[in-house]
Amino acid sequence: MENVIESTHPLIQHKISILRDKHTGTNEFRRLVDEIGMLMAYEALKDLPTHMVEIETPIETCMSPMLSGRKLAVVPILRAGLGMSSGILTLVPSAKVGHIGMYRDEETHEPHAYFCKLPESISERLILVTDPMLATGGSAVEAIDFIKKRGGKNIKFMSLIAAPEGIKRLHEAHPDVQIYVGHIDRELNKDAYICPGLGDAGDRIFGTK
Ligand code: PRP
Ligand code: URA
């Protein structure tokens, strides 16, 4: 599917396997989500704009590329998306950070927004929305609706594990958005959890129940 990029990198697949293991504790889980976020961002940000600057090396002067301005906004969907953002900020410390608070109703599985704060000049930025789980796709679609209503145009979405149902819904609602996923799993169960998945990402990152 155009605009859906599934990772095949063995490092990412290896780390996702450890995340899936129910015996992996909070500490290791959090560290791995951070690391996978960084590895995936490396790929997703390959078209960040650059411009040439003059640099004096110890040998001679040359023209060499640098990132252009402060053009990236990382927007985690709270809570679990936060776990992926720190790795990305290690790669691009100058990025601005927005937050979208969203939780899924346990019965209807529909998303409810409770917070939205985006960096200024959002229409001029590349916006990387993060959430480890793309299940029904409801949260991602609504978060991106929010961002577009506030002027966001150049948007990418990044998740660790996705269900085919979520990818379809997000792609149909926002075909312009590139979707980067660590792995596409089999299906959703009746509670709209991803199978085999990794359970509740927010609870596993923050050690809640
Ligand atoms: C989880 C996950 C996504 C959402 C995915 O969040 O982090 O945001 O569910 O499901 P969807 O694709 O069906 O919308 P949750 O609502 O559990 O909130 P939390 O991050 O605060 O735990
Ligand atoms: N949210 C999660 O954290 N996990 C799932 O499998 C689905 C939604």
Are 179 and 202 in contact by the 8 Å Cβ rule? The answer is no
Q: What is the pLDDT of residue 140?
A: 98
Give how far the C-alpha of residue 199 lies from the chain's centroid of Cα atoms, to the nearest Å: 18
Q: What is the pLDDT of residue 1?
A: 84
Residue 71 pLDDT exceeds 90:
no
Distance 93 CA to ligand 1 centre (A): 26
Q: What is the pLDDT of residue 121?
A: 93
- For the annotated catalytic residues, the residue numbers are 104, 108, 200, 203
Give the chain's radius of gyration (CA, Å).
18
Residue 69 pLDDT exceeds 80:
no
Distance 137 CA to ligand 2 centre (A): 10
**Residue 207 CB contacts under 8 Å (≥ 6 apart), including other chains:** 26
pLDDT in tens, 18-29: 999 999 999 999
Which pTM was predicted? Answer: 0.95
Residue 44 pLDDT exceeds 90:
yes
Q: What is the pLDDT of residue 49?
A: 87
CATH domain 4-206 topology: Rossmann fold (3.40.50)
Strands 178-184 and 4-6: parallel
H helices, E strands: number in the chain: 6, 13
Give the mutation target among 26, 75, 103 for probing the ligand 1 site: most ligand atoms within 8 A of CB.
103
**Residue 18 CB contacts under 8 Å (≥ 6 apart), including other chains:** 24, 28, 32
Question: Quick one: average pLDDT of 97-104?
Answer: 95
Residue 127 pLDDT exceeds 90:
yes
71 or 70, higher pLDDT: 71
Q: Report the percent of the chain where pLDDT is more than 90.
A: 93
- Which residues does ligand 2 sit against, CB inside 6 Å? 133, 135, 193-194, 197, 200-202
Give the mutation target among 19, 194, 204, 208 for probing the ligand 2 site: most ligand atoms within 8 A of CB.
194
Instruction: Map out the domains of the chain as residue ranges.
Output: 4-206
Q: What is the pLDDT of residue 209?
A: 86
**Residue 100 CB contacts under 8 Å (≥ 6 apart), including other chains:** 75, 76, 77, 78, 81, 113, 115, 116, 129, 143, 146, 147
- Which residues does ligand 1 sit against, CB inside 6 Å? 77-80, 102-104, 109, 111, 131-140, 166, 192, 200-202
The two tokens of residue 192 are 């709209």
**Low-confidence winner among 2-11, 20-29, 30-39, 60-69 (lowest mean pLDDT):** 60-69
Q: Which atom of ligand 1 is nearest to the CA of 77?
A: 8
Of all ligands present, the nearest one to the C-alpha of 194 is 2
Give how far the C-alpha of residue 128 lies from the chain's centroid of Cα atoms, to the nearest Å: 6
Distance 139 CA to ligand 1 centre (A): 7
